[in-house]
């Protein structure tokens, strides 16, 4: 197996370390929304006056 630093040297990409904060920021920016986030965004957009939405809220 080729070491990462050797691989970077072979393709002329400078190796740079990544800090834990950069990883956390990347994950926070790129994470997928949870089911609850999607559901409540849908409820907010559709409005609670819709009878189907009202029934959905009742069963939650």
The predicted structure's pLDDT at residue 41: 75
The predicted structure's pLDDT at residue 7: 52
Q: Are 15 and 8 in contact (CB under 8 A)?
A: yes
Nearest to 43 by CA among 18, 26, 60: 60
pTM (global) more than 0.75: no
Residue ranges of domains in the chain: 4-59
Can you tell me the mean pLDDT for 39-52?
66
Q: How far apart are CA 23 and CA 33, in angstroms?
A: 18
DSSP letter for 34, please: P
Q: Taking the chain, what is the end-to-end CA distance rounded to the nearest angstrom?
A: 52
């Amino acid at each position: 197996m080729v070491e990462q630093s050797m691989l970077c040297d072979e393709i002329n990409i400078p190796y740079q370390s990544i800090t834990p904060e950069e990883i956390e920021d990347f994950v926070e920016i790129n994470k997928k929304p949870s089911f609850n986030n999607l559901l409540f965004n849908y409820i907010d957009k559709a409005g609670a006056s819709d009878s189907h939405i009202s029934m959905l809220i009742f069963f939650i």
